A and B are shown apart, each in its own frame.
Chain A
Amino acid sequence: MQGPREKQNSKKKKIVGIPRGLIFYHYPELFKTFFEQLGAKVVLSKPSTQKLLRNGLKVSSDEECFSCKVFYGHIIDLKNQVDFLFLPQFHGNHKFLVKCPKFIGLPDVIRAIFTDLPEIIGGYHSRTKKHHHTPHLFWLFFKAGWKITKNPFKILMAIAKARKKHQQFKQKQIWSREKLEAWKNKAFSGDGPEKVKVALLGHSYVINDPVLSFNTLKKLREMDVEVVSSEQIPEEIINEQMKKLHSTLYFEEERKIVGTALYFLESGTIDGLLQLIPFPCGPSAISSEIILHHAKKRPEFPVIQLVVDDNTGEAGFLTRLEAFVMTMKRKKFLKFKKGLSTEQLTLLASKTSEESAVKAQ
């Protein structure tokens, strides 16, 4: 006969699926830790692939935002392998700074489009509502945790541990003001020309997604470019730059994007700005216009805004990215040449001609 402890071990763990898109990239450690601490098994959807995107395109409408089309693919990937699907409707935890309305509405669309979903763990929180303060957030975590365990202390401990992990993640990701200033002013020299420094602007769920960003971060690093993303800029710098606008920019991520762009445009000590825009992102239409307007005042500063959607060809995208990096590299090379003596120049010329001869063979 099975004793009580053996019965517990033989009971199956509840499986919670978290789709790897949208809000996951804002809180990559928080939700995963929370459910794992409660004793559930957490399954993340696979990282985005072209096949995932094609599955998503079968169910989405044409005008849908590119990030949402990929998100549907993640739902399709997860829905048959899990007991619960985690789809929070989180609008924002600030009095007026909010996320895109898709963050509220997309789970409702998913409930309407798909007919065979597992049970959804959700919850709606928007600090812009008068009665949605921190207790409401706690209540939502409780409701979510209650589906996994009936032990309230376990839920409280899980919330605490999840918060701690999230704070650690944020500390690692966001640079301090000093670190940023040092990076901004530093000249990364090697044995040749200085390295190119670029700020990559975009939503976190675009920059970190291999399909949505066409692996831009990886490619830039492969091209030996020093990159900082708009996710890493500290809040105080963003808030300072926001004073340049005529009214409040209330989209959270657009704030980071515009703040980063204005910060680097002001100092002019990096080599270029690259903004990734999924088509047809609503808030990005605003941020791209504000950045362009301010960038026009500094015409010598390269700014490129690449629009990506499911019809963008990878070859075309890569060409534009390479052209952008080459423009900046050429500037660095000319600067480097200027600083060389005649002897060094002749050495360099013979070295490069040797290299091109080897390549031609």
Chain B
Amino acid sequence: MITYPPFGPSGYVFLAGLKDIGREDVLHLSRPTKKMIALGVAHSPETICTPLKYCVGALATGVEMGATEIAFPSGMGTCRFSMYYELIRLIFEDMGYDDIVFHTFDYHLPIDLLKLFKNLSKNKSYAEVVAALLRGGIRNRLLDQVDEQLNFYRAFEVEKGRTEEVAEEFYQEIINTRRFQALSRLKKKIPKKFQEIEVDLPSEIVRVVVVGEIYAVLEPGMNQDLNKRINELNVAVKTGVTLRKYTDIGAKINPFIKDPVKEGARAAKKYLPYYCGGDAQQTIGDLILYKKKGYDGLIQLYPFTCMPELIAKDILPKVSQEFDMPKYSLVFDEKAEGAAIQTRLEAFINMLKRKRMAKSKENN
């Protein structure tokens, strides 16, 4: 049985991809529980970034549940993420799991991903594996689309929980659809179905963009369901970071599709001109880009000791002042509790609402 680390709703791409290449013995861990986190913390170094602790805990739990193979990326990058594989191997040796088969690939190189999938597949040809990878990219686009609609309609829904039901249905449909034609039909179906949800829109819609380190933004188990909490305060959310930069190979080849990473880096040129790992340039670039799109505020999420995000965090106050866009940096570690961030979140959101009301009064 094969398993991989949990990655929020974007993790469904891995599940669907493995099913596509013929593996039915997939253990999908949907969300890191408190028990998993405690296990990970007990066996990981203290000052390592928090995503590793979550991954170790989740993978160890997967092994306890019967997994015998683990797929995890490695490579040579700028931040610490590419060294996770080495640490996981050592930690698993210490924990006594000696007969686990590890599959690794360099996540910067799509060719490596292709080779990995070919190895994992049960007698599939290269053509079928390439089709599975392309399908994965398209699925990721659709999952992002569902999340975008979810994070807007959930803020204003009349019947509590309806939007999440619709989103859950779509997740399952995206995982189980295989034909390219059916996937492209889904693209039109998704916004239509969400528009049918009954909403109560206020006179002024406050919108917030959430950026930062990719795992902190995409994994609700790490950011304590931040998007849901913001929606419950009647504010719409957009996530600025996506897993598409690694999975969407089709978009990389297509020159007509804008690359959000490159756009963000270009916008941040004056403040952080060179790539220093992770999503640091995007954090700063997105503040500038989303201010232009009319968003009211930016929230930066990052795990404790994340090196690139600390660099961005130190530059953010100056950019925020120059562009008059409120920002808030939230740090997460393994002890993060929902109640603790709720207070700070409410304070920031209330400030944004007041600012919006004052501006609309001025205009009237």
Contacts and interface: CB of A to CB of B under 8 A. Distances in A.
A64 B307 CA distance: 9
B165 to A, nearest CB: 40
A96 to B, nearest CB: 4
Interface residues of A, number: 41
Contact of B277 (A101, A249, A290, A293): A101
Given A247-B85, A250-B82, A293 B90 contact: yes
Interface string B274-309: 111100100000000000000000000000110110
Contacts of A101: 78-79, 276-277, 307-308, 311
Interface string B84-98: 011101110110000
Given A250-B76, A282-B80, A104 B274 contact: yes
Contacts of B315: 108-109, 112
Nearest to B277: A101
A285 B47 contact: yes
B233 interface: no
B331 A289 contact: no
Contacts of B271: 108, 112
Interface string B303-330: 0110110110111011100000000000
B78 A245 contact: no
Interface centre among B82, B85, B277, B314 (most CB of A within 10 A): B314
For chain B, give the interface size range. Answer: 35 or more
Contact of A285 (B46, B78, B308): B46
Nearest to A307: B47
Given A61-B310, A282-B305, A283-B80, A246 B85 contact: yes
Given A289-B45, A289-B48, A105 B86 contact: no
A102 B277 CA distance: 10
A249 B83 contact: yes
A63 B89 contact: no
A124 B276 CA distance: 11
Contact of B86 (A65, A112, A286): A286
Contact of A288 (B45, B74, B91, B276): B45
Contacts of B304: 63, 280
A89 B314 contact: no
Nearest to A60: B314
Contact of A248 (B47, B76, B91, B311): B76
A108 B93 contact: no
B22 interface: no
A289 B280 contact: no
A105 B311 contact: yes
A249 B77 CA distance: 10
Instruction: Name the residue in A65, A89, A100 with the highest tally of chain B Cβ atoms < 10 Å from its Cβ.
Output: A100
Contacts of B134: none
A326 interface: no
B66 interface: no
- Name the prevailing secondary structure of the A interface residues: mixed
Contacts of B77: 250
A104 B74 CA distance: 22
Among the interface residues A96, A280, A283, which one has the most CB atoms of the partner chain B within 10 A?
A280
Q: Which of B74, B271, B310 has the most CB of A within 10 A?
A: B310
A317 B280 CA distance: 35
Contacts of B78: 91, 98, 101, 128
A282 B276 CA distance: 14
B338 interface: no
Interface in A234-258: 245-251
A124 B87 CA distance: 30
B273 interface: yes
A323 interface: no
Contacts of A286: 45, 48, 80, 83, 86-87
Contacts of B318: 112-113
A61 B90 contact: no
B121 interface: no
B272 interface: yes
B86 A246 contact: yes
Contacts of B75: 247
B353 to A, nearest CB: 28
B68 to A, nearest CB: 18
A61 B329 CA distance: 12
B345 to A, nearest CB: 20
A140 interface: no
B94 A63 contact: no
A91 B277 CA distance: 11
Contact of A102 (B80, B82, B94, B307): B307
Contacts of B104: 247
A151 to B, nearest CB: 29
B87 A289 contact: yes
A288 B86 CA distance: 13
Contacts of B313: 61
A124 B274 contact: yes
Contact of B311 (A108, A284, A285): A108
A104 B276 contact: yes
29 contacts: A61-B313, A63-B310, A89-B274, A91-B274, A96-B76, A101-B308, A102-B307, A104-B275, A105-B272, A105-B311, A108-B272, A108-B315, A113-B314, A128-B78, A247-B75, A247-B82, A247-B86, A248-B76, A250-B77, A250-B83, A281-B47, A282-B79, A285-B48, A285-B305, A286-B83, A289-B90, A289-B91, A293-B90, A293-B94
Closest 4 A/B residue pairs (Cβ):
A105-B311, A105-B276, A250-B76, A289-B45
Given A63-B331, A113-B318, 8 more contacts: A61-B314, A64-B314, A105-B272, A105-B280, A108-B272, A112-B317, A112-B319, A245-B86
